[in-house]
Structure 1
Amino acid sequence: MRLEIKNISKTFTNKKEVNNVLEDISFNVGEGEFVTLLGPSGCGKTTLLTIIAGFQNPSSGEIFLNGNKVTKPGPDRGFVFQNYALFPWMTVKENITYPMKQLKLSKNEQEERLQNLLKIAQLQGKENLYPHQISGGMKQRTAVVRSLASKPEVLLMDEPLGAVDFQMRQILQKQLEDMWMKDKTTVVMVTHDVDEAVYLSDRVIVMSDKRGTVVEDIKIDISRPRDRNSKQYDSYKKHLMGILKIALTKNQIENEVAFAK
């Protein structure tokens, strides 16, 4: 499996004002890789993710998955939203099996897949509860395995842990990593959290707040599970924070020069 992002640009026009959100973005994602798009708010990370998902079209450029051009949403790409996006009138089980029913899998296939996903997400015994009856962490795990239910080739996650507090976030990062290690689905995740990017990713693609320019594509070469207190871990965090700071400072200077003109 190979996900190819080729020369993606996205421009929004509003009352004669042109906003170039993304400009000529290119990179590839290999099978089983966990790749994170890291950058400040407003740099186009989520826009790029929704283009990969097929929710919107680029102004120019192309997305390919296994050589097939992406032009619309499909079951080969699962999407996890920041706000869970669970159906409140459905139980945990019904939420997870919903995409399987859309694919018209047999009842036996649905049940086998359901039990495996409940085990991966540590949700056994919770399958008959409704979203309002479970914790935020359980909701997020339900959202993740629901996206895995259709066996997508790529899982796209937009700030999946952004709605939880700091302490819960670190617990869920570990649980998310455990789930990914068991399933090994290819992942592209959006975050602005440097620590989260280092903890979860095989690669981190740093995007600038200037038209989403790719500032750096760095491999996180640390064995799993990762030790947040190790010197190597701290070194990656400092490096990424330094790259973000340089990119922001450079853009601020360029903006000031453009304004002066």
Structure 2
Amino acid sequence: MELKVEGISKNFKNDTSVQTVLKNLIFSVREGQFVTLLGPSGCGKTTLLTIIAGFQAASGGRILINGRQVTRPGPDRGFVFQNYALFPWMTVRDNILYPMRQRKVPAKDREKRLEELLTMAQLEGKEKLFPHQLSGGMKQRVAFIRALAGRPEVLLMDEPLGAVDMQMRQSLQDDLEALWLKDKTTVVMVTHDVDEAIYLSDRVIVMSAHEGKIVDDIYINLHRPRDRKENEYNKLKELVSEALQVATGRRADSTEAANNPYLATLGGEATTV
């Protein structure tokens, strides 16, 4: 599987002006990679994610998944929303089965996949509950495995932990990582949290406030599970924070970050587009 973002631009027009949110974005994502889009509010992260999902059209360029151009939503892409977006009238079981029914997965295979996912998310015995009967953490796990249920080629996540409090956030990051490691689906995630990006990602793409330009594309080659107290972790966190300062306009130039020797030794490959 390969996801290609080829020259994506997005303009919003009104009666008097045109606002360019994204301009000529180019990058690709390899199979099994966990890639995070990081940047200031309004930089176009979520807009780009919804274009990849097929929820809205680009003004220019194209999205390719395994060489197929994205023109609309499809079962090859799962989506996890910030507010869970579970169907409140459905039980946990029916929420998870829904995408499999949409894909016309045979009943026997649906039941087997359901059992696998409930076990993976440690939700056995919760399948008859409704969303309002679940904690925030449980809702997030249900939303995640529902997105995985139809075996999408790419999982898209828009601030998946944005709706929980800070105390729960790090615990859910561990849950999210554990679930992803078991399934190894290709992931593109949007976040505004530097620590979350470093903790979860194989790669962090930092986008600028102006036209969503790519300021840095940083590879995070740290062993899992990651230790926030490690020197290497904190040096990468500093590196990404510097790139984010460039993205917000607080620093004039990303040259220092791009030439940082820790990129080669800690981040591995890096490219600036």
Deviations 1:149-180 (A, max 9, x none): 11000000000000001110100000000000
Deviations 1:170-193 (A, max 9, x none): 000000000000000000000000
Map of 1:82-161 to 2, 5 A cutoff?
82-161=82-161
Identity %: 63
- Give 2:267's aligned residue: none
Distance in structure 1 (CA, Å) of the matches to 2:119 and 2:13? 47
What amino acid does structure 1 have at the position aligned with 2:155?
L
Is residue 60 from structure 1 mapped to residue 68 from structure 2 by the alignment? no
Unaligned 5+ runs, structure 2? 254-273
Structure 2 counterpart SS, 1:7: strand
CA contact (8 A) 1:210 1:251 kept: no
Relative to the length of structure 1, the TM-score reads: 0.95
What amino acid does structure 1 have at the position aligned with 2:101?
K
CA contact (8 A) 1:209 1:251 kept: no
Q: 1:95 to 1:151 in 2, by over 3 A?
A: same
What amino acid does structure 2 have at the position aligned with 1:150?
G
Distance in structure 2 (CA, Å) of the matches to 1:6 and 1:110? 35
Deviations 1:102-154 (A, max 9, x none): 11111111100000010111111111100000100100110011011110000
CA contact (8 A) 2:206 2:247 kept: no
CA contact (8 A) 2:215 2:246 kept: no
Distance in structure 2 (CA, Å) of the matches to 1:197 and 1:184? 17
Q: 1:250: how far off? A: 5.9
Distance in structure 1 (CA, Å) of the matches to 2:250 and 2:220? 25
CA contact (8 A) 2:40 2:247 kept: no
Relative to the length of structure 2, the TM-score reads: 0.91
- Give 2:259's aligned residue: none
Distance in structure 1 (CA, Å) of the matches to 2:251 and 2:52? 26
CA contact (8 A) 1:6 1:25 kept: yes
**Paired residue total:** 253
CA contact (8 A) 2:208 2:246 kept: no
